Amino acid sequence: MMHPFVHAAATPDKPAIIMAGTGETMTYGALEARSNRVAQLMRAQGLVRGDTIAVLMTNCADYLAVCWGAQRSGLVYVAMSTKLTAEEAGYILADSGAKLIVASASLGAVAAGAAAGLTARYASGGAIDGFDDLDTALAAQPATPIADESCGRDMLYSSGTTGRPKGVRGPLPEGALDAGDALTGLVAMLYQFGPDMVYLSPAPLYHAAPLRYCMAVQRFGGTVVVMERFDPETYLALVETYRITHSQLVPTMFVRMLKLDEDVRTRHDLSSLKAAIHAAAPCPVDVKHAMLAWWGPVIYEYYSATEGAGFTTISPQEWLARPGSVGKAILGEIRVLGDDDELLPPGQTGRIYFAGGPGFSYHNDAEKTASVMGTHGATFGDIGHVDEDGYLFLTDRAAFMIISGGVNVYPQEAENALTLHPEVADVAVFGVPDAEMGEAVKAVVQPRDMARAGPELEAELIAFVRSRLSHVKCPKSIDFLPELPRHDTGKLYKRLLKDRYWAEAAA
């Protein structure tokens, strides 16, 4: 039996959620009452199983309560990025068919502009013009379960790194509310989730992994500590303060922690950590070696996507034996395809597909769904190879491969090398138009100190990469920006940078 209502009955005073910044705590008893009131409100608004709601909220204790209320009402809940413009949010509301929205007051301008066509609009944590107050609305509802509870699920929109975001829709689960789901089975097996765990969530809850993992922790009756926003030193302090056992991170968080001063890094007791799980973006091999040397063999990696059509996993011990691998498939069967859709043998690089995994579709976009499906399964758009033992190694995303003078160049190699330079805070590498070679390798760097940006640092960085990689893989030129467009989940919006250069070349 896996659901917060089980733990609310057994341990009502146990913290289900602790907000890291304020210490605000919601117990399992309070989470049960709050999520029941949310479910009652949904029914009072006429929403029935299969209907959709939208959540446009910053990280707060109510976030998970709203999602659990929708989950126990058989509803589809769309967790929306807090970085959207009103126009982008409006597109998702319209595309998803949402009938109700809950929004944080701090996002009021975007929410009001996006949700003009909705009548059921609720503001959390303050007032939004034209929205009802969530606290007032919930206080009027009973804290008891609705009569027709059933399992709902999330529908999350891709982060739009390669175009308009698309809603990833799977079937509504059948069966008992406390039956668990595919993720709870996976995390129990891989990472020993259980009632004694204390989980630190450093990322925005609207993203797939943070939301799903936090809810999985609460299925097991553990405690979730939610950071309002990530800060490397604060993260380390929280691990010590709350004796954190489990956490999930992205590689940019590792990089930021590794670049802290030595005395700051070694100040905190991290011995409680049992599993630090990472995914969402490629992790440079040297970065992961440094993290394992610091934290010990507690760093686990997986490769998947919001679509969930496949899942690979690798333990710290396996990774040390095969540095750079993202593991073996435990959901779906890996197929590597060449340019003519022929199956490639181990060791050869091609497009990665997963066969036989769970089904999904892109909401309202049959063409997009068809574009990622083939006779060999579904693809997330990545390039790589498997070794003789079935371990997957990723090279890059197909969309960012550079063809320079007829040679395929994968930008991730140069990005990984530049990340190691002490003056580099962040980096993006991509192809730009070149009259002679077709495309040239370009790097855009966010320096640690913008005052150092210029020809001297550019020459130093190019020489640094050339000492590590074949010259054909190295940037021909480097530009500097005070900040790169990066999603809170660690995903780089490289398309935005690349599009700007191509547009300028066309002009």
Task: Tell me, yes or no, whether 74 and 171 share the same domain.
Answer: yes
**Which residue shows structure tokens 């371990």?**
391
Q: Is the C-alpha dihedral spanning 248, 252, 254, 257 positive or negative?
A: negative
Do 502 and 376 belong together in one domain?
A: no
CA–CA gap between residue 448 and residue 425 (Å, rounded): 5
CA 329 distance to own-chain centroid: 19
pLDDT value, residue 434: 83
Count how many domains the chain has: 3
Verify that 334 and 416 share a domain, yes or no. Answer: no
338 plus 467 within the same structural domain: no
Contact partners, residue 279, CB within 8 Å, separation at least 6: 209, 248, 250, 301, 302, 303, 304
**Portion of the chain with pLDDT greater than 70, in percent:** 98
Q: At which of 152, 177, 202 does a domain end?
A: 177
Do 427 and 387 share a domain, yes or no? no
CB-based contacts of 168: which residues, under 8 Å, 6+ apart? 155, 156, 157, 158, 306, 307, 308, 360, 362, 363
Question: Angle at CA 296, nearest 5°, toward 293 and 299?
Answer: 105
Residue 291 inside a domain? The answer is no
Over the stretch 49-69, which tens digit does the pLDDT of each residue have? 999 999 999 999 999 999 999
Q: What is the CATH number of the domain that holds 440?
A: 3.30.300.30
pLDDT: which is higher, 277 or 495: 277
Tens-digit pLDDT profile for residues 336-367: 999 888 999 999 999 999 998 777 888 888 88
22 has pLDDT over 70: yes
Q: Does residue 498 lie within any of the structural domains?
A: yes
How far apart CA 392 and CA 180 sit, in angstroms, is: 28
* 395, 494: one domain: no
Q: What is the pLDDT of residue 487?
A: 72
Query: Would you say 101 and 54 are in contact if contact means Cβ atoms under 8 Å apart?
Result: yes
Residues 6+ apart with CB under 8 A from 35: 4, 65, 66, 68, 69, 71, 72
pLDDT digits (tens, 9 = 90+) for 266-305: 999 999 999 999 987 778 888 899 999 999 999 999 998 7
Tell me, what CATH number does 62's domain have?
3.40.50.980
Cβ atoms < 10 Å from Cβ of 365 = 15
Instruction: Tell me, yes or no, whether 485 lies in a domain.
Output: yes
Domain termination residue (choose one: 111, 142, 177): 177
In order, the DSSP letters of 65-134 are HHHHHHHTBT-EEEEPPTT--HHHHHHHHHHHT-SEEEEEGGGHHHHHHH-TT-SEEEEESS--TT-EEH
Size of the chain in residues:
507
Helix (H) or strand (E) holding 16: strand 15-19
The residue among 275, 298, 200 whose CA lies nearest residue 244 is: 200
Candidates 267, 268, 223, 318; CA nearest to 20 is: 223
Q: Residues 6 or more apart from 388 whose CB is under 8 A from it?
A: 346, 347
> Does a structural domain hold residue 455?
yes
333/418 same-domain check: no
Quote the tokens at residue 311: 């899942």
Model pLDDT, residue 162: 46
Can you tell me the mean pLDDT for 219-226? 97
Average the pLDDT over each of 19-23, 157-161, 443-447 and give the range with the smallest value: 157-161
d(CA 139, CA 159): 35
The reported pLDDT for the residue numbered 271 is: 98
pLDDT of residue 23: 97
pLDDT at residue number 433: 87
Q: Please give the structure tokens belonging to residue 120.
A: 């059921």
Instruction: Name the DSSP class of 344.
Output: P
What is the token pair recorded at 96?
């998803």
Confidence at residue 95, expressed as pLDDT on a 0 to 100 scale: 94
Question: Does residue 329 lie within any of the structural domains?
Answer: yes
Two tokens, residue 226: 């939610």
Query: Is the same domain home to 161 and 31?
Result: yes
List the structure tokens of 117: 């066509």
Q: Strands 156-157 and 167-169, how do they pair? A: antiparallel
Report yes or no on 19 lying in a domain. no
Domain-embedded: residue 221: no
Q: CATH number for the domain including 330?
A: 2.30.38.10
Beta strands 299-303; 311-314: pairing state: antiparallel
Per the structure, the complete domain to which residue 61 belongs is given by 27-177
Residue 319 has pLDDT above 70, yes or no: yes
Question: pLDDT tens-digit profile of 77-120?
Answer: 999 989 888 988 999 999 999 999 999 999 999 999 999 989 99
Residues 395 and 411 in one domain: no
DSSP lists the bridge partners of residue 122 as 102, 132
Q: What does the block give as tokens for 367?
A: 């063409």
pLDDT in tens, 129-147: 999 999 999 999 999 999 9
Q: Are residues 339 and 466 in the same domain?
A: no
Percent of the chain whose predicted confidence (pLDDT) is above 90: 69
Out of 371, 399, 427, pick the residue that ends a domain: 399
Average pLDDT of the chain is 92
Q: Which two tokens stand for residue 355?
A: 């066969």
* 146 in the same domain as 65: yes
pLDDT value of position 371:
76
More confident call, 421 vs 380: 421
328 and 465 assigned to the same domain: no
What pLDDT, in 10s, does the model give residues 148-206? 999 999 999 875 544 577 888 888 998 899 887 777 888 888 999 999 999 999 999 99
155 located within any domain: yes
β-pairing, 275-278 with 299-303? parallel
**pLDDT for res 221:** 97
Beta bridge partners of 424: 447
